[in-house]
Amino acid sequence: MKKKKQSGGILSLSTRAIHGNKLYAYKGPVATPIYQTSTYRFETSDDAVRYAKGDPSVYVYTRYHNPTVHDVEEKIALMDHGEAAALFSSGMAAITTAILAFTKPGNEIISTAALYGGTYRWFRDELPQSGITVKFVHPDHLDQIERLVTAKTTIVYVETPTNPTLDLVDIAEVAKRVRNAERKSGRKIFVMVDNTFASIVNQDPFALGADVIVESATKYLGGHSDIIAGLVVGTSDFVKRVKGLAKHHGGCADPFAAYLLTRSLKTFELRVRKQNGNALALARALENHKKVNRVLHPGLPSFPKHQLARKQMSGYGGMVTIEVKPSKGRSAVEAAARVCDNLKIAVNAMSLGGVETLVSIPVYSSHIFMSDTELLQHGVTPGMIRISVGIEGIEDLIADFEQALALA
């Protein structure tokens, strides 16, 4: 497995997540205060003029900026080794605003097709209506990127690991192909990575050559299934333009959600490392179960892209997907539903990344809108159960899945 490089400073991830850059004698609260306000008093009217001239110390309106939100943005930028970050009201607000800030009608995006359902549908159904074309590339044929790039291409977008098969995209290879294409076209093309499934604990997209990280902070960063939030991380210039558009599109983060997120960051690395360990142990325990056809987890030697996982990830993540066999009198999806309905500890609910183990059936949830052909292309089968492994006792989790599978 890739040894994590300490790029961007010598402080560990947890130190950056807990302290941000407040590493000096600092008088004030230890916990981040919640600035639950929509607007800010000016000392004198001159403040408004200073703000208009670009003075960052003048706060005017929470849709533009807020100190609690700013605290998270500063910490995330440090954690991801980015120059700057922007916090949004959801992962989708982050993704859509980042993309729209750098595309206009007539532009093109190249993307892998195995994506979070919301992103995929936005690419497939809505962006083309605004005159923005999305071309899909297969993760096993990344050489095609250079052929697909035109003078109109502004972004190459990837998500890895992907939902629910946990298929991996070689980020370094994507970046190499894009840099080659840039040299030919003479124009900047941004490599944008959705790092939600791995999180910065397990995968460092900037070290692999990406330009921008987008992420649903609803998942591992939030980690308690109680907030919706999203992030864009990149250079100061990139984030400045994204924030400029965010002012008009309005997907700003709420100060209370930002407070909960900054609180969650303090245990983020601890939680994710525990989830990594639990996921690998659960995957191993279920791999040879007689009611299970396949177990997909990047850390298993049987995983089709295990070697790529070893190369580009520093931990294998907390997601495991199992494929339940059809049983006597039950189709595969019925058997999968029976497992989910009989789990006593793991919770039958959408989403991922929280401290509690969650399960969902992709063909009933994230992939319910897909045609049979699309399901086949995405490698999604009816018996699949996606497991977001939490931090419960691993013996309890294994016993829970064994008793539920016995009833399938």
Ligand X SMILES: Cc1ncc(COP(=O)(O)O)c(C=O)c1O
Q: Please report, as ranges, the residues that interact with ligand X according to CB under 6 A.
A: 90-92, 116, 118, 159, 163, 194, 196-197, 216, 218, 228, 230
Q: How far is the CB of 97 from ligand X (least distance, A)?
A: 12
CB of 245 to ligand X, least distance (A): 17
What minimum distance in Å lies between the beta carbon of 6 and ligand X?
26
- Beta-carbon contacts of 22 under 8 Å, excluding residues fewer than 6 positions away, are none
Query: Looking at beta carbons only, is 166 or 322 nearer to ligand X?
Result: 166
**CB nearer to ligand X: pick between 205 and 230:** 230
Q: Answer yes or no: are the C-beta atoms of 156 and 145 closer than 8 Å.
A: yes
**Shortest Cβ distance from residue 157 to ligand X (Å)?**
11
DSSP 289-320: -TTEEEEE-TTSTTSTTHHHHHHH-SS--SEE
* Beta carbon of residue 213, minimum distance to ligand X (angstroms, whole number): 11
Nearer to ligand X, 84 or 228 (CB): 228
- Within the chain, how many helices (H) and strands (E) appear? 15, 12
Q: Which is nearer to ligand X, 107 or 162 (CB)?
A: 162
Report the residue number whose CB is nearest to ligand X: 91
Name the residue nearer to ligand X (CB basis): 50 or 249: 249
**Closest CB to ligand X among 84 and 253?**
253
Distance CA 278, CA 291 (A): 21
For the bound state, the minimum distance from the C-beta of residue 407 to ligand X, rounded and expressed in Å, comes to 28
Residue among 301, 321, 402, 305 at smallest CA distance from 365? 321
Q: Which DSSP string corresponds to 110-175? A: EEES---HHHHHIIIIIGGGGT-EEEEE-TT-TTHHHHH--TTEEEEEEESSPTTT-----HHHHH
Which is nearest to 269 in space by CA: 314, 227, 216, 238?
314
Minimal distance, residue 181 CB to ligand X, in Å = 25
Nearer to ligand X (CB atom), residue 90 or residue 153: 90
Q: Kindly give, in sequence order, each residue whose CB lies less than 8 Å from that of residue 191, ignoring residues fewer than 6 positions away.
A: 156, 158, 171, 174, 175, 178, 209, 210, 211, 212
